[in-house]
Chain A
Amino acid sequence: MLKLHYNLEKLSMGLVAGIIVAASIGGIVEIAPLFVIDETVSMPEDMRPHTPLELAGREIYIREGCYACHSQMVRSLADELDRYGPYSLAAESAYDHPMLWGSKRTGPDLARLGEKYSDAWHSAHLIDPRSVVPASIMPSYPWLVRPLDTQMLSAQLGTLARLGVPYDPEMVSAAVADAQGQSRPESDAADAVRDRYGADVAVRAFDGDASLLTEMDALVAYLQSLGRLTDAAYGNLAGEIE
């Protein structure tokens, strides 16, 4: 090997080729099979994609960097099951472009957050975390009360559909109406959301005011959907692992 290298280091293109080969093997061996082995992700029947409003909330979650302090991945460890709930399945993030598993828990994991708190608690907490949790070091987000910009929403659903997320053309074209509908429980549009995304979808005035669609509506709708897109994980009893 030393001899080989001795010759290689006289040829710049030889070194280049050597580096590319040596640095490719590991990635290929670890990544390629994830796309072909079926057990990697087994999709449950009841798995649904995010509604347009939840998707808009997810974009806000990304924009504000919530992922820098919160993970969304419950590991298969006893204390995590006790603290957060069932461990996360690969299927639960199968439609997530990108995944938001996170790497740092300055705040708690959020993978099982949906319906843990009321909408009002979330609004109050996001506007001023220390008003509900005095020792919190989470930032305040008072600007989330501003109106939600839905201009790109339909195009966003369309892009995700092209990447394989199961949004049909009707969902794409009705994206803005669905976002409105999900926050106006008494409207006709609300029923359309349930028709398209399932009866389990939460349809509420998330920020307490049905008249104006705000970023808060979107973010809270997203937070309330975490861990609620499928029931598959709840079938795994804590005792099953380890």
Chain B
Amino acid sequence: MSPASTLSRSERQIGFGLAVALALLGLVMAAGAGHGVMAVHGTMALALGMLLVFRVGGAFYDPQPDADRLNRYYDAPTRFGITMTLIWAIIGMGVGVWVAALLYWPEATPAVPWTSFGRLRPVHTTGVIFGFGGNALIATSYYVLQRTSRTRLADSISPWFVLIGFNLFCAWAVTGYVMGSTQSKEYAEPEWYADLWLVVVWVVYFTLYIRTLARRHEPHIYVANWYYMAFILVVAMLHIVNNLALPVSFGAADSFTIWAGVQDAMIQWWYGHNAVAFFLTAGFLGMLYYFLPVRSGRPIWSYRLSIVSFWGIVFFYIWVGSHHLHYTALPYWVQTLGMTFSVMLLVPSWASAGNAIATLNGAWHKVRDDATLRFMFVAAVFYGLSTFEGSFLAIRPVNSLSHYTDWTVGHVHSGTLGWVAMIIFGAVYTLVPNISGRDTMAWPRAIEWHFWLAVGGTLVYVIALWNAGITQGLMWRAYDENGALSYSFVESVRAMAPYYLLRTLGGAMFLTGAILCALNCWATYRLTPLAQTPRDRPLGLQPAE
């Protein structure tokens, strides 16, 4: 069934109009820029707009969906979002394995500009954080918002606008990098027009969220939604401030950030660390707070604890960015504040992790038998471990050793592989059968395989890079008995080789698991018979419209 046929005739009209508008926007961009990256991006928008014109236009005279649809959840956008999640998982992690291999074997692929390490690395980070993580967040937020509010999404156009617009942003970003267009700010590399576009998408997303919440049939807003809301709001704030820039010309992908030097560094890491906090943590805690109780059949262990940890996380995280700038030209008092709050942050972080794990009390047999639930359990454990490690790394003397080394990269991936990716996979395996009207995933055994590949890959990756980072840090600061530095820099580079090789293998295991997941979802959609009785949380009674 084509997604456009889930829309009513008048909605198709709006959709058609928006598709034409997008095509025109692309045309204006391409014509205004004439050549270069922005022209390519304009052409991409034009092509996407035309595609949508044909998709919506082609379905224009299809039969209208039945009126009863308003008494069902609207899951077609979630389904699309999950598909994009899996596509980006394979792109992002595939490029991750590629750049990992380049660090072991720099001549692995020919020396051409667009696949040079420095251009591919942001393709990896953007691909996994925004493409994989972002699509998963948006898709699950629609799903969770509807179930916890027992209402249908407020309208049928804006969910598509958000998802399609967001994916256009991601596509602009990664194609821009390979063509050499970047602002160089970590996790905020896309150029000014892509940033502006994301603001538009985000405003629509927020509006949809609030409008749907307003129609809820529960007096209280469920915990998961607090976190999704914190994610939406704070990411907007961070994105706008960090990306303020003056374009060199309105016809080119070239701009200068308005911030400079030490202020730029502080704003960048205020952004950078809170991208971790509100993109890679808050949103995913929302996911955890919904899918873990649902899958285990246990209510959240402590409601009070979830309140304390929520406000703790929202308030403390914002302060910690300066721990990326220890011993630098940033004033000392700001570094100290960053360190102090980083340590305090452990309390709400562990409260969340503990709350999640305690929720499983009484369901341990399910954790043993159900690989999907095990994904979520492992996610909670890695969340606890990596927040502990994070607080530890923020302590100034520890940071003097770890900063600039692969220890940081190891830490990042214990969080992103162990926590973010695991909770996503747990959520995907829980909701895919549901949104496709099936009882289970097509291949339960493959979930088991995926689980062990993911856990194994994460451990190999993280342990290799702990060793790498600590070795590096110690070599850089080692002095011989004459008071001279013991090692040249290149000696430390050479010492990394075995760890970089191991990391590539660990990453390849993880990637293999992700591919299995994508195949399994495809098989569920295509090969599994429809369930006899749909099981879902009933909607609230709809007001007469």
Contact = CB atoms under 8 A, between A and B. Distances in A.
Interface of A: 1-2, 5, 9-10, 12-13, 15-16, 18-20, 22-27, 29-31, 34-35, 37, 39-41, 62-69, 71, 73, 75-77, 79, 82-83, 87-109, 129-130, 133, 135-143, 152, 155-156, 159-160, 162-165
B339 to A, nearest CB: 12
B184 interface: yes
A62 B182 contact: yes
Nearest to A89: B329
Interface string B248-262: 110010111111111
A93 B260 CA distance: 7
A94 B261 contact: yes
B328 A75 contact: yes
Interface in B412-450: none
Contacts of A97: 256-260, 264
Contacts of A67: 118, 184
Contacts of B257: 97-98
Given A12-B210, A22-B314, A97-B264, A69 B322 contact: no
Contacts of A159: 246-248, 255-256
Interface string B109-120: 001110011110
Contact of A98 (B184, B254, B307): B184
Main secondary structure of the interface of B (DSSP, over half): helix
A13 B209 CA distance: 11
B334 A95 contact: no
B41 interface: no
Interface string B478-495: 010000110001100110
Contacts of B321: 30
A110 to B, nearest CB: 11
Contacts of B338: 30
Interface in B67-124: 102-104, 106-107, 111-113, 116-119, 121-122
Contacts of B177: 65
Given A79-B476, A159-B247, 18 more contacts: A10-B221, A15-B226, A16-B229, A22-B315, A26-B318, A30-B270, A30-B321, A41-B262, A62-B182, A75-B326, A75-B403, A93-B264, A93-B265, A98-B256, A99-B264, A135-B490, A137-B102, A140-B111
B10 interface: no
Contact of B182 (A12, A39, A65, A101): A65
B456 interface: no
A65 B106 contact: no
B266 A30 contact: yes
Interface stretch (B136-144, B212-220, B356-364): B212-220
Nearest to A5: B307
B154 to A, nearest CB: 12
Contact of A141 (B111, B249, B266): B111
A29 to B, nearest CB: 8
B239 interface: no
Interface stretch (B23-31, B230-238, B378-386): B230-238
Interface string B299-315: 00000100110010011
B111 A139 contact: yes
Contacts of A94: 260-262
Nearest to A109: B404
B462 to A, nearest CB: 17
B349 to A, nearest CB: 16
Given A69-B118, A79-B479, A98-B257, A90 B237 contact: no
Given A135-B490, A152-B254, A98 B485 contact: no
A136 B117 CA distance: 14
Given A26-B315, A152-B249, A65 B122 contact: yes
B258 A24 contact: no
Interface residues of B, number: 96
B185 interface: yes
A16 B210 contact: yes
A20 B404 CA distance: 32
A108 B226 CA distance: 43
A75 B331 CA distance: 13
Nearest to B241: A27
Contact of B405 (A34, A105, A130): A105
B290 interface: no
A145 to B, nearest CB: 12
Given A12-B221, A69-B118, A137-B493, A20 B233 contact: yes
A63 B262 contact: no
A25 B116 contact: no
B268 interface: yes
Given A73-B329, A135-B494, A104 B315 contact: no
A98 B311 contact: no
A98 B268 contact: yes
8 contacts: A1-B307, A5-B311, A16-B233, A23-B237, A24-B318, A35-B263, A77-B477, A90-B329
A129 B229 CA distance: 48
A93 B226 contact: no
A20 B206 CA distance: 13
B240 interface: no
A34 B334 contact: yes
Given A19-B233, A138-B106, A40 B262 contact: yes
Interface string B369-411: 0000000000000000000000000000000100111001100
Contacts of B284: none
Contact of B106 (A10, A68, A139): A139
Nearest to A127: B111
B477 A79 contact: yes
B237 A20 contact: yes
Nearest to A76: B327
A15 to B, nearest CB: 6
A142 to B, nearest CB: 6
A12 B225 CA distance: 10
B426 to A, nearest CB: 25
Contacts of B270: 27, 30-31
A34 B117 contact: no
A189 to B, nearest CB: 23
A143 B121 CA distance: 19
A19 B334 contact: no
Contacts of B490: 133, 135-136
B365 to A, nearest CB: 33
B184 A141 contact: no
Contacts of B327: 75-77, 87
B118 A71 contact: no
B155 interface: no
Contacts of A91: 261
Contacts of B103: 106, 137
Given A75-B327, A156-B248, A90 B261 contact: yes
B330 to A, nearest CB: 8
A133 B479 CA distance: 23
B234 A34 contact: no
A162 B183 contact: no
